Amino acid sequence: MNSIYLIKEKNGMKKDFSLLLSMMDYARFTSIMEVENLPVKVLDYRCHDEANSIGMLLAHFDAVEKIYQALTFEQWTDDEIEAYAEELEPALSLGSKAAEKIKGNSVEYYLENLQRTRKSTIEQFKKLDEAWLYDETDWWYGEKGNNFFKWFHVFEDEINHRGQIRMIKKLYAKENQPTIAE
């Protein structure tokens, strides 16, 4: 039996990658549970002009995973990384440009993109030696970071934004509840 609630080795994966992917899979599973049947009007809802929509956040999950693929799997120069990050905008940074461009898409659109990107991540994980997870590079604030931490951050970011998704859904429901007079 393969349970989403078990953090353990997966077929075809080395142990440490299996543990990491188990956590990534659970984070994604819970994100999908929050959005899987939402209509476009809910995906595009923003509670104020500076707020994210659920669709924007789903596109952001995809962009974050893609930039971390480039940062960790590729041997790109800083200029190449910057150029790729620009291609991933506005989903990577969110904000007003994202609000203008990321809308009108079905939940299937977002989930298919997420699935395609995750499949690519898994294919790369399968090719790598476990020592790769512990490779250290200069990272944030003058500190070192290893690839394990970088991929932890990918799903940590998703978990944080999933909290936003839950709040957006509640705000939408409250704002769109029929009043007793209606």
Each residue's pLDDT tens digit, 106-160: 999 999 999 999 999 999 999 999 999 999 999 999 999 999 999 999 999 999 9
CA quadruple 39, 43, 44, 50: dihedral, nearest 10: 160
Domains of the chain (ranges; CATH) run 52-175 (1.20.120.450)
Helices (H), the chain: 15-35, 40-43, 54-73, 78-88, 96-101, 107-127, 147-175
Q: Tens of pLDDT along 8-55?
A: 998 889 999 999 999 999 999 999 999 999 999 999 999 999 999 999
pTM of the model: 0.94
Are 165 and 60 contacting, i.e. CB atoms less than 8 angstroms apart?
Answer: no
- Residue keyed to tokens 């409250």: 174
